[in-house]
């Protein structure tokens, strides 16, 4: 569901750092997230309540 792209150049140079790795959602992932704002799932806080 996630397409990883390392941002390599057309010259074949490696990426500058791992933090520049890109991720794109696939079409299926976009469809899964389409109605996330409609509160169809009861979300709960994580283990320490920070999110």
Look at residue 50 in the predicted model and tell me its pLDDT. Answer: 81
Catalytic: which of 20, 22, 24, 36?
A: 20
pLDDT of residue 43: 82
Q: From the CA atom positions of the chain, what is the Rg in Å?
A: 17
In this structure, which long-range contacts are made by residues 16-25, counting pairs with CB atoms below 8 Å and at least 24 apart in sequence? 25/1
Q: Which one is predicted more confidently, 50 or 27?
A: 27
Is-catalytic flag, 20?
Answer: yes
Higher pLDDT, 21 or 4: 21
* Element (DSSP H or E) covering residue 24: strand 22-25
pLDDT tens digits for 20-47?
667 788 899 888 888 888 887 788 888 8
Q: Provide CB contacts within 8 A for 30, sequence distance 6+.
A: none
pLDDT band of residue 5 (cuts 50, 70, 90) is: low
């Amino acid at each position: 569901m996630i397409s990883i792209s390392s941002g390599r150049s057309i010259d074949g140079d490696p990426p500058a750092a791992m933090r520049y790795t890109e991720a794109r959602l696939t079409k299926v992932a976009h469809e899964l997230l389409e109605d996330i704002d409609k509160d169809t799932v009861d979300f709960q806080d994580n283990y320490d309540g920070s999110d």
